[in-house]
Chains A and B, each alone.
Chain A
Amino acid sequence: MCTIVPISKTVGANRIVPTVAIPHPLGNPALSREEEKVLRRKLVERALKALTTEVDGQTVFEQ
């Protein structure tokens, strides 16, 4: 899970989930704590989806 997807591609990650921002990849301080946790959960669930999806090369999970 990373914000700068081209770097993850360069280093060879196979399942890539784009995130929010460099200093808070899985959060957004502009939101309320509750909204932020909903956002974080959505991103983690996307990572779980990536883990359960067969890929045959580097794949970015945009949704």
Chain B
Amino acid sequence: MSKLRVVHYLNQFFGQIGGEDKADTAPLKKDGVVGPGMALNGAFKGEAEIVGTVICGDSHFAENMDADLSQIIGFIKEYKPDLVVAGPAFNAGRYGTACGAVAEAVQAQLGIPAVTGMYVENPGTDMYKKAVYIVSTPDSAVGMRDAVPKMAALALKLAKNQSVTPEEDHYISRGIRKNFFAEEIGARRAVDMLVAKLAGKPFTTELPMPAFDRVPPNPAIKDITKATIALVTSGGIVPKGNPDHIESSSASKYGKYSLAGVTDLTAETHATAHGGYDPVYANEDADRVLPVDVMRDLEKEGKIGKLHEFWYATVGNGTAVASAAKFGRSIAEDLKAAGVHAVIVTST
């Protein structure tokens, strides 16, 4: 049997184009393997071979999704592949979203199997886990050696039309139910589970509940000209010098900073601590992320009641969802105690 033909999708970083400064790279293709493709090729153990690599910058994809996707699918098609592997993207949000979108489009438009890999908290996981096979990976590229063999094995099985399960093949459950004959009747299994639960013993549910974090919307502000409005950002805007040393990724804290007497953020006074996007524009003028100048104008003109005297900032870059939820609760409590009526949250 001839080797299966594989196309590998990568972002600008793993595609060896460059870091955040190259995140606006438009889609391109290269024959053969690039970067982690080498390890992937090895993991195919001669059964499949990467014939081409398609690369796109994370920001470029996120901002031009439809156009980039059709160009990427066009490039992939030219290689006449039997299957496509995207990533792994670990906990990189834009990359994960791109990998999921590429894998979904490959399946739908080219009718061949696709596999990607992500950390379970990657936003791309929630968006695409139902549509595509996402191998569960650690949260950083340190996990490459763990992820690649699992992705290769799953890809080969899918290409050979073999049956797969989340447990055996290490992918994140797609929520597909399959009928099978159980050894015990349902009543027996339910009582066994209940007995185990009461005894504090482990048991496995047959119907895991999705963890949707949804809150009902707050009522509208009746009179915005009387309202105190606060600014909060995950874009990392801090006083220049980053006094609280907020981490450039996987932030463990947020900062609270005074806006007393501040009417405009400038390159001399403010900057971003965020390590996940090109900081040039925010460092030139942080109002591009945290619109203090415009809020001050609106305040002066009486269009809003008041701009709250503090802003809150953290870095939303690989930051654990649990940490972000904790920051959010704490910031919200502080804002409520200060009598703030509404919040504008900006994200990058």
Contact B281 A40 (CB under 8 A): no
Q: Chain B 126-150, CB within 8 Å of chain A: the 1/0 string?
A: 1100000000000000000000000
Contact B294 A44 (CB under 8 A): yes
Chain-A contact segment, one of B43-51, B71-79, B215-223, B331-339: B215-223
Cβ of B244 < 8 Å from any Cβ of A? no
Nearest CB to that of A8 among chain B residues?
B347
Q: Within the assembled complex, what's the spacing in Å between the Cα atoms of A47 and B218?
A: 14
- Within 8 Å CB of A63, what residues of B? none
Question: Nearest Cβ in chain B — how far from A45, in angstroms?
Answer: 8
- Within 8 Å CB of A43, what residues of B? 291
Chain-A contact segment, one of B151-159, B164-172, B272-280: B272-280
Contact B284 A25 (CB under 8 A): no
Question: Nearest Cβ in chain A — how far from B20, in angstroms?
Answer: 8
Contact A51 B342 (CB under 8 A): yes
B289 touches which of A7, A26, A48, A52 (Cβ 8 Å): A26
A54 touches which of B93, B220, B282, B304 (Cβ 8 Å): B220
Q: Within the assembled complex, what's the spacing in Å between the Cα atoms of A16 and B121?
A: 21
Contact A10 B127 (CB under 8 A): yes
Given contacts A10-B126, A25-B346, A26-B287, contact A57 B294 (CB under 8 A): no
Contact B127 A41 (CB under 8 A): no
Q: Chain A 26-45, CB within 8 Å of chain B: the 1/0 string?
A: 11010001001100110111
Contact A12 B213 (CB under 8 A): yes
**Chain B CB within 10 Å — which of A22, A53, A56, A59 has the most?**
A22
Q: Within the assembled complex, what's the spacing in Å between the Cα atoms of A60 and B180?
A: 42
Cβ of B39 < 8 Å from any Cβ of A? no
Contact A23 B94 (CB under 8 A): no
A51 touches which of B127, B220, B279 (Cβ 8 Å): B220
Contact B217 A15 (CB under 8 A): yes
Q: Within the assembled complex, what's the spacing in Å between the Cα atoms of A12 and B94?
A: 17
Chain-A contact segment, one of B108-116, B250-258, B295-303: B295-303
Given contacts A14-B215, A25-B346, A27-B281, contact A37 B97 (CB under 8 A): no
Contact A40 B294 (CB under 8 A): yes
Question: Nearest Cβ in chain A — how far from B332, in angstroms?
Answer: 14
Given contacts A1-B344, A48-B303, A51-B342, contact A22 B293 (CB under 8 A): no
Q: Within the assembled complex, what's the spacing in Å between the Cα atoms of A56 and B127?
A: 22
Q: Within the assembled complex, what's the spacing in Å between the Cα atoms of A44 and B289?
A: 11
Given contacts A11-B123, A54-B220, contact A44 B97 (CB under 8 A): no
**Which parts of B287-346 form the interface with A (CB within 8 Å)?**
287-291, 293-295, 297-298, 303-304, 342, 344-346
A27 touches which of B227, B285, B345, B347 (Cβ 8 Å): B285
Contact A44 B291 (CB under 8 A): yes
Given contacts A12-B213, A23-B282, A26-B287, contact A37 B346 (CB under 8 A): no
**Which parts of B203-250 form the interface with A (CB within 8 Å)?**
212-222, 224, 227, 229, 235
- Within 8 Å CB of B91, what residues of A? none
Q: Within the assembled complex, what's the spacing in Å between the Cα atoms of A26 and B282?
A: 10
- Within 8 Å CB of A41, what residues of B? 294, 297-298
Q: Within the assembled complex, what's the spacing in Å between the Cα atoms of A55 and B217?
A: 7
- Within 8 Å CB of A33, what residues of B? 285
Provide 18 A-B residue pairs closer than 8 Å at the C-beta atoms, listed in order of the A residue: A3-B347, A7-B97, A7-B347, A10-B123, A12-B214, A14-B215, A15-B217, A23-B280, A24-B289, A25-B235, A27-B288, A37-B287, A41-B298, A48-B298, A51-B224, A52-B222, A55-B217, A59-B217
Knowing that A23-B282, A40-B293, A44-B344 are A-B contacts, what are 4 other residue pairs whose CB atoms are under 8 Å apart, sorted by A's residue number?
A: A23-B281, A26-B291, A33-B285, A40-B287
Binding site for B on A (CB under 8 A): 1-4, 6-8, 10-15, 19, 21-27, 29, 33, 36-37, 40-41, 43-45, 47-48, 51-57, 59
